[in-house]
Amino acid sequence: MPRTVRIATRGSRLALWQARWVAAELARLGRGSELVIVETQGDRERLPFAQMGGQGFFTKAVQDAVLAEQADLAVHSFKDLPSAGVNGLTLAAVPVREDARELLLVRPEEYAPEEGLLPLKKGARVGTSAVRRRAQLEALRPDLQVAELRGNVPTRLEKLRRGEYGAILLAQAGVHRLELDLRGLHSRVLEPRLVVPAPAQGALALEARASDTELLELLSRLNDPLAQRSVAAERGLMARLAGGCQLALGASAQVVGEGGLELLAWYGGRLYQARAASPEAVAEAVFGQIQAEFPQGVGG
């Protein structure tokens, strides 16, 4: 009888949704599973991310559980993974990707459609935890008060409803997956040319031990080649910039033509764009543009 797959995951509502989705996909393939809940540094500490040491705030403890054979499979929000891999683990699959765009949620009294693509009143207080979002918002609208926002997706939404913020910026993927009630709020999905998402936003990463060949073969059946290629381009650029999830980098890749890729990136206050035949080539092309703009060096 095939062994039950132990799935390591954080305990947040979104992380559990993601892990249960993977469990359902494994069941479709005839394999049973069980969840192993792991507390991470990002779950324990309430500091702003910029003040927390190291990388992998939401992923390292989950990876450690798999390495220690307390679990067999780690399910991550791919955008949370640092660019450097972990010895002993391998990326087993990137399933079908959810919408990667950003979602702006606005309280009625702060909504100002006359302001255009960011329909916020002058001086509105906008909550976010990501340095990337902060940097792009401040570049687009210097009048806004961009404030630190921590907590899982439902908690962030509740803080908005309580009036702690006039608006918040979230990943559309998490709101859609959780089917959250947005009644009473104005919502606008922001196109990547306005606010470029995080590398791998909307994608899941399934990691397993590199030695677990039987499980790797099974998980390969959950891989989506289109998602894998677009994420490889985005994270390839992130790796070239030597960054983690707190690098102020936006990257959004689309498959174009006969399997080629177009990569749009935001870094250092401006947009970059290139097309190439492979994830590696398009990441290198955009990195070259950034290098030319910052001859004194890039990275973070």
**113: its two tokens:** 């459609």
* Catalytic pick among 60, 107, 125, 156: 156
132 is catalytic: yes
107 is catalytic: no
212 is catalytic: no
Collect contacts of 139-147 with beta carbons under 8 A, ≥24 apart. Answer: 139/269, 140/194, 140/195, 144/120
72 is catalytic: no
* Catalytic pick among 133, 134, 229, 240: 133
Give the whole-angstrom CA distance, residue 46 versus residue 43. 8
* Catalytic pick among 72, 80, 125, 212: 80
Q: Tell me the sheet residues that pair with 209.
A: 89
80 is catalytic: yes
* Catalytic pick among 10, 60, 79, 97: 79
Q: Tell me the sheet residues that pair with 105.
A: 168, 187
* Catalytic pick among 60, 101, 132, 177: 132
31 is catalytic: no
Burial class of residue 87 in the structure, from the number of CB atoms within 10 Å of its CB (0-12 exposed, 13-18 middle, 19+ buried): exposed
Q: Which of 224, 231, 227 is nearest to 282 (CA)?
A: 231
6 is catalytic: no
Which residues are identified as catalytic?
79-80, 132-133, 150, 156, 245
